[in-house]
Amino acid sequence: MKPSLVVVGSLNMDFVVQVEHLPAPGETVLGRDFQMIPGGKGANQACAAGKLGGPAVSVRMAGRVGYDLFADHLKASLSAAGVDVTAVHATKSQPTGVALIWVDRSGQNSIVVASGANHALLPNDVGAMRQSFRGARFVLFQLETPLDTVELALVAAREEGARTILDPAPARPLSREFLAAVDILTPNESEACHLLGRPVTRVSQADAPALARDLQALGPRTVILKLGEQGCFCLDGERGIQARGFPVEARDTTAAGDTFNASLAVALTEGKPMEEALRFANGAAAISVTRLGAQASVPSRREVEEFLLSR
Ligand code: RIB
């Protein structure tokens, strides 16, 4: 079956340790237990889309892994979520990507990514992706793979008739040409400030419209500012939409943004109006922060629907 959503991006094995507080430079902290949990921004989005998508949504992941056990594990995690992994290719020159993650008592984290094979997703891989893009409603991107590959794939996705969603994470400088190929841009507050070359500050719902307009001027038609527990602000063409968040007790914020993007894409693919898609995405992301880990924290569709009914 042709995929209706394609995710182009990273696959990492996450090495997660819970700590009382995040270590300062030069500090050693004693952590609690260690866990290996499937992650990587791209794979998290694919996994979440696979889990949350209804029968009308089929998901394919495109990316690179090494020839190792982590690769098998990561592909198995995606397959279990119903994701087609035929466009995840192994590369001999690099090991599978890994991420070292500390999570503190308040659920905040620090992440270091050793990109490995994700760095081997090269511009000349884009030709083979085109076939997957053809007929897809959306292609989802993030920034853990080489930027020249992402830029070329954004353009190719558009040429094949798909709409593009970019999660500009982790924050990296992006050219106007790059951003011009994005239909929906979904930064969090610090990524938004980075893209505009401004000092990172907290952004309230009141500040959001002006910030979103400045980002829209860089190219994307739709800007969705992810504002954590405040929810999000969406500037869709001329229309501003505030979608409130759902306060929850945070255990681990890892992959909340990935869960948001995937849920948004699923809801829009199903033809839901933007307001409803934002509420669905806020609900799924809120549940994910109550759980430890990346792909392990993604809720099922039923859980999201029950959560939203109870609010
Ligand atoms: O967005 C969360 C992800 O960032 C983690 O799963 C980790 O792999 C890093 O890529």
Q: How far apart are CA 174 and CA 272, in angstroms?
A: 30
Taking the CA of residue 295 as reference, the ligand 1 atom at the shortest distance is 6
Place of tokens 């819970």: 18
Residue pair 101/38 in contact (Cβ under 8 Å)? The answer is no
Q: Which of 176, 179, 146, 147 is nearest to 165 (CA)?
A: 179
Q: Compute the distance from residue 219 Cα to the ligand 1 centre, in Å.
A: 26
- pLDDT tens per residue, range 74-85: 999 999 999 999
Share of the chain above pLDDT 90, in %: 94
- Nearest Cα residue to atom 9 of ligand 1: 40
For residue 202, is pLDDT > 90? no
- The domain segmentation of the chain, as residue ranges, is 4-12+40-96+117-309
Residue pair 257/169 in contact (Cβ under 8 Å)? The answer is yes
Q: For a ligand 1 pocket test, name from 144, 172, 288 the mutation site with the most ligand atoms within 8 angstroms of its C-beta.
A: 144
- pLDDT tens per residue, range 231-279: 999 999 999 999 999 999 999 999 999 999 999 999 999 999 999 999 9
Which helix (H) or strand (E) segment holds residue 148: the answer is helix 147-159
Q: How far apart are CA 258 and CA 262, in angstroms?
A: 6
Q: How far apart are CA 92 and CA 69, in angstroms?
A: 13
Compute the average pLDDT of residues 89-112.
95
Report the CATH superfamily, name and number, of domain 4-12+40-96+117-309.
Answer: Ribokinase (3.40.1190.20)
Q: Which residues line ligand 1 (CB under 6 A)?
A: 10, 12, 14, 39-41, 44, 99, 111, 113, 144, 254-255, 258, 294
Q: Which of 3, 167, 12 is nearest to 87 (CA)?
A: 3
| Mean pLDDT of the chain, nearest integer | 96
Residue pair 90/66 in contact (Cβ under 8 Å)? The answer is yes
Taking the CA of residue 10 as reference, the ligand 1 atom at the shortest distance is 10
- pLDDT tens per residue, range 103-139: 999 999 999 999 999 999 999 999 999 999 999 999 9
Q: Identify the band that residue 2 occupies on the pLDDT scale cut at 50, 70 and 90.
A: low
Q: How far apart are CA 182 and CA 114, in angstroms?
A: 26
Q: How far apart are CA 35 and CA 31, in angstroms?
A: 11
Number of CB atoms found within 10 A of residue 168's CB: 24
